[in-house]
Amino acid sequence: MDIKERDDRYNAYLTSKMPKTKAFPSLFHAFWIGGLICCLGELIKDLLLLAFPDMSLNVASTFESVIIIVLASFLTGVGIYDRIGAYAGAGSIIPISGFSNSITSPALEFKREGLIFGLCAKMFIIAGPVIVTGVVASFVAGIIYIFI
């Protein structure tokens, strides 16, 4: 069997085994779960402003993100967020809860490799690139904004 034929057969086999994402339903799932998480955030902010009328909008928005982050981390811990993720795809990744999930999930996964080099080190395996690019981009954005 020559190499090309072998490669073709292997690729065909791979394609047949790959999980197929049904395009249209997954778009709808991502849309409504993503929208719902954003609405939950807005609801948390409104409830905070109702409970503490003298709270500034900035503080309320910060609390809103923090509450969503802690909630998503907890749901990841008990294994519910992964099920939401399987259903909603990008709808669970793009909201800030997905960022929280991307930290808690590897922390849980690598706990067995030890506290320091497992849990603490691998915690940033996905969020690390996000924070690095974010900090660099914000620095560059600051410079661009100032000099233009």
Partner 1 sequence: MIFDPMMYLKVFLVGGLICLIGQILIITTKMTSARILVTFLLSGVFLHVIGVFEPLKEFAGSGVTIPIMGFGYSLAKGAIEGWYDYGLIGLLTGGLTATSAGIAAAVVSAFVFSLLFSSKTKK
Interface positions, 44-83, toward partner 1 (CB under 8 A): 45-46, 49-50, 61-62, 64-66, 68-70, 73-74, 76-79, 82
> Distance between CA atoms of 133 and 16, rounded to whole angstroms?
36
The residue count for binding partner 1 (CB under 8 A) is 75
Q: Which residue has the tokens 């690139």?
A: 129
Binding mask 116-135 for partner 1 (x = CB under 8 A): ---xx--x--xx-xxx-xxx
What single letter denotes the amino acid at residue 82?
D
84 binds partner 1 (CB under 8 A): no
Token look-up 């900035």 returns 58
Provide the minimum distance between the beta carbon of 17 and partner 1 in the complex, in angstroms, as a whole number: 15
Write the Ramachandran bin of 89: left for phi over 0, alpha for psi from -120 to 50, otherwise beta.
left
As measured in angstroms, the least distance from the Cβ of 4 to partner 1 is: 24
Residue 10 C-beta: closest distance to partner 1, Å: 18
Residue 104 near partner 1 by CB under 8 A: yes
The rounded distance, in Å, linking the Cα atoms of 78 and 72 is: 10
